[in-house]
Every structure is written in structure tokens, then in C-alpha cells.
Structure 1
Amino acid sequence: MHELGITRNIVEIAERHAREQGATRVNSLTVQIGALSGVIAEAVEFAFEACSQETLLQGARLIIDAVPGRGRCRACGAESEIDRFTYACPHCDALALETVQGQELRILELEVD
């Protein structure tokens, strides 16, 4: 489960930024996870409590902003939702979708004391 390592890194990055700002506690952490990022949001949620123990994030609320996958067809130019399994354009059936959204994995916001 690579989400454990990813979650550990998220917590480390968030804690470092909170300390740099003089925070003594993180109340909430908002993370953006795209549907095409290869990261399972539920696994990050599951690992968060364990990874945040004995850090400034212990007891913090994790907020996940889920971003759907979107693609633009290089053949017809249409933009549509896509998933990890189907990259065919629903408008023209071409296998030419270029990903325009859904690969995100980033910290958006920290609420600190």
C-alpha cells in the first residue's frame, strides 16, 4: 500500500510548513487527490491517524478534495470525464484523450493554531 508512504510524506510536509509559520497545532489539513493520480483517497484517510500520531497534526481533521478525471479528445476536441480504465472519447470513440484534470496530489490548505 503506497498510500501509507504518501500519507507519511503529506504529514511531514504539512508539519514542516506549520512549524515554519510558528504554529503549535494543525486543526485541519485539506489535500487534493485526483481520480487519475493512482492514489486511493480512502487509504490515505485510513493511514492519516496513524501517520499523524505525535506530530502537530495529531487530532487534525483531514479533508480530501476529490478531483474527477477529465480529458480532451485530440481527434474531435470534446472534453469529457474519464476514469482510470477507459480512455476512449465518448463522443467519437477515438483513443486520443489527453488528460487535463485528475492527476493532482497536493496539499491545499492548513488550518493552524
Structure 2
Amino acid sequence: MHEMSLCEGVLQVIQDHAERQGFSRVETVWLEIGALSGVEVEAMRFCFDAVVRGSLADGARLEIVEVPGEAWCMKCARGVRVAQRFDACPDCGSYQLQVTGGTEMKIKELEVE
């Protein structure tokens, strides 16, 4: 389950920012997670609670903003939404798609004290 290591990375980023910006407690963490990122949202929620226990983010609320998958269809010559990698174009059925969005996972915002 790589979500555990992803949560550990998120906590490290939070701790680094706390040192630089001087906050002592995190109330809410907003994560943007792309549909094509390979991250399981429910596993992320479970791991987040376990990883932040005893830290400045202990008890913090995790809000996940899901970003849709996007691709450029070479046959249609336009952008389309896709649910997962290697899907066909929802308009023409072509598999000549280049992923253009929805692969990211990033901390969007923190609510801190």
C-alpha cells in the first residue's frame, strides 16, 4: 500500500512548513488527487489518520478534491475526460489518447493555528 508512504510524505511537507512559518497545529488538510494518479482515496484517508497520530496534524480533517482524468484525443483533435488510463476516447472510441491531466497529487491548502 503506497498510500502510507504518500501520507508520510504529506506529513513531512506539513512539518517543514510548520518550521518555516511557525504554526503549531493543523486543523484541515486539502489534497488534490487526480483520477489517473493511482492513489486510492479511501486508503489515503485510512493511512492519513494513522500517520498523523501524535503529530501537529493529529485529529486534522482530511479533505480530498478529486481531479478528473483528462486526455488529448489525436483522432478528434480535442480534449476529453477519461476515468482511467488506457480508456478509449468517449467520443470516437480511439485509443490514441495522450494524458494531459489528472495524474497529480498535491497539497492544495492547509488550515493551521
In the comparison of the two structures, how many residue pairs are matched?
113
3-state SS, counterpart of residue 95 of structure 1: coil
Percent identity between the two aligned chains: 39
Map 1:8-23; keep pairs closer than 5 Å: 8-23=8-23
**TM-score for both structures, normalised by structure 2:** 0.92
Distance 2:19 2:41 in 1: 26
Residues 5-30 of structure 1 show CA distances to partners (whole Å, capped at 9, x for unaligned) of: 11111111112112210001011111
Q: Structure 2 unaligned runs (5+)?
A: none
- Structure 1 position 85, deviation (Å): 5.0
Amino acid aligned to 1:70: E
Distance 1:110 1:42 in 2: 20
Map 1:55-74; keep pairs closer than 5 Å: 55-74=55-74
Residues 75-106 of structure 1 show CA distances to partners (whole Å, capped at 9, x for unaligned) of: 22132211225421122222111112110110
Distance 2:64 2:29 in 1: 8
Distance 2:86 2:37 in 1: 15
> Which is worse superposed, 81-90 or 91-100?
81-90
**TM-score for both structures, normalised by structure 1:** 0.92
**Is the contact made by 1:87 and 1:96 (CA closer than 8 Å) also made in structure 2?**
no
3-state SS, counterpart of residue 94 of structure 1: coil
Amino acid aligned to 1:28: T
3-state SS, counterpart of residue 38 of structure 1: coil
Q: Structure 1 unaligned runs (5+)?
A: none
